Amino acid sequence: MRIGVLTGGGDCPGLNAVIRAVVRKGVSTYGHEFVGFRDGWRGPLEGLTRPLGIPEVRGILPRGGTILGSSRTNPFKIEGGVERIKANLADNGIDALIAIGGEDTLGVASKLTDLGVNVIGVPKTIDNDLGATDYTFGFDTAVNIAMEAIDRLHTTAESHHRTLVVEVMGRHAGWIALHAGLAGGANVILLPERNFDIEQVAAYVEKRFQTQYAPIIVVAEGATPLEGQMQLSSQDKDAFGHVRLGGIGQWLAAEIEERTGKEARTVVLGHIQRGGTPTAFDRVLATRIGLHAIDAAHDGDFGKMVALRGTDITRVPLADATRELKTVPPERYTEAEVFFG
């Protein structure tokens, strides 16, 4: 078989580990050939390819980012997009496509499956918010980066008797904030799943100062206060209609400073959470996911996504992958609340 591989959406530590596993097993065990499509769906849309064989995947296991490049191109938003993809796949002699991506990339993969394209999906997101899999690779790395930042911020916050607000990624799901906040001993964790009361947050901050410690607040970028609108630094939207978030951390610091009379500052971790080398956990998960993705392609089991269930890698229908966003359940947030204030 001749198999195309692409990576779409926001990049994520572990993407290269998946590509390597797919190619290594695909060539050595099954004798398949590979074509790398560049920059997500833009690759098959515009016929942008690059060679992808064992020499091209040497040494990429620990590398962050993706050797294939990525984009948020949505072919369903482009006139004649699907026909162009089908024509370019045929021109390149592609029998099957392995699409590595999150909600949006896999949503496109699912629709293309319905239109007769042979696709296998691989779940990817640092946000860990895909319903059909227990964990996504990249999440563990992002949480560790955020935890390390929180550890460092504790000592400087205490030296200056100030509140430090740490804004982490998480548009609709607060998994990174919850795990990094728990691991880093945050005094308050604010998630998109639960609108917060700024008065309560200010009270937690006051309580923390009374115990001679400095408060650390971990806030997901998609968190919103009870009484106000979501705070946005920009209203720009990408091709999938997502507003570019960022700004809730700054807003929080200003409100806390006003209510407590003590200095509050914000650190926005942003893309640092997505860059750089994956943790051992993510390298192993991404490698196993890649090995199972090439098995699924070899079996001709198209329209499926490989998923982690417990410690096993399974296959689920692509349509299930994007049906439901996996958000933080209320009882998980309640566990963390024991440590607030």
Token pair belonging to 180: 């990094």
Q: Minimum CB separation from ligand F6P for residue 246, in Å?
A: 8
Q: How far is the CB of 137 from ligand F6P (least distance, A)?
A: 13
CB of 126: closest distance to ligand F6P in angstroms? Answer: 5
Contact between 98 and 122 (Cβ < 8 Å): yes
Find out whether 151 and 267 touch, Cβ atoms under 8 Å: no
Catalytic residue among 11, 39, 104, 127: 127
Distance, in Å, from the CA atom of 277 to the CA atom of 62, rounded to the nearest integer, reads 5
| Type of residue found at 41 | W
* Nearest residue (CB) to ligand F6P, 7 versus 163: 7
Q: Are 170 and 128 in contact, with CB atoms under 8 Å apart?
A: no
Of residues 10 and 43, the one with the C-beta less far from ligand F6P: 10
User: Which residues in this chain contact ligand F6P in the complex, by CB under 6 A?
Assistant: 10, 102, 125-127, 169-171, 221, 238, 245, 274
Could you tell me the smallest distance in angstroms from the CB atom of residue 29 to ligand F6P? 32
> Which pair of structure tokens corresponds to residue 298?
């070899």
Provide the token pair at 299: 């079996």
Is 127 assigned a catalytic role? yes
Cα gap 72→35, rounded to integer Å: 20
Cβ proximity to ligand F6P, 72 vs 162, nearer residue? 72
Residue carrying the six token digits 């998923």: 307
| Nearer of residues 171 and 207 to ligand F6P, judged by Cβ | 171
Six-digit token string for 91: 């021109």
Tell me which residue of 40, 63, 68, 73 sits closest to 52, measured CA to CA.
68
Give the residue from 19, 49, 18, 55 showing the smallest Cα distance to 35.
49
Residue nearest to ligand F6P (CB): 169
Joined tokens for residue 22: 């797919």
Token pair of 35 as six digits: 């074509």
CA–CA dist 171, 237 (Å, integer): 13
Least distance between ligand F6P and beta carbon 119 (Å): 20
Q: Minimum distance between the CB of residue 91 and ligand F6P, rounded to whole angstroms?
A: 30
CA–CA separation, 149 and 268 (whole Å): 10
With vertex at residue 149, the alpha carbon angle to CA 148 and CA 150, rounded to the nearest 5 degrees, is 90
DSSP label at 325? B
Specify the residue, 145 or 169, whose C-beta has the smaller distance to ligand F6P: 169
93 versus 276: smaller Cβ distance to ligand F6P: 276
Give the catalytic positions in this structure.
Answer: 127
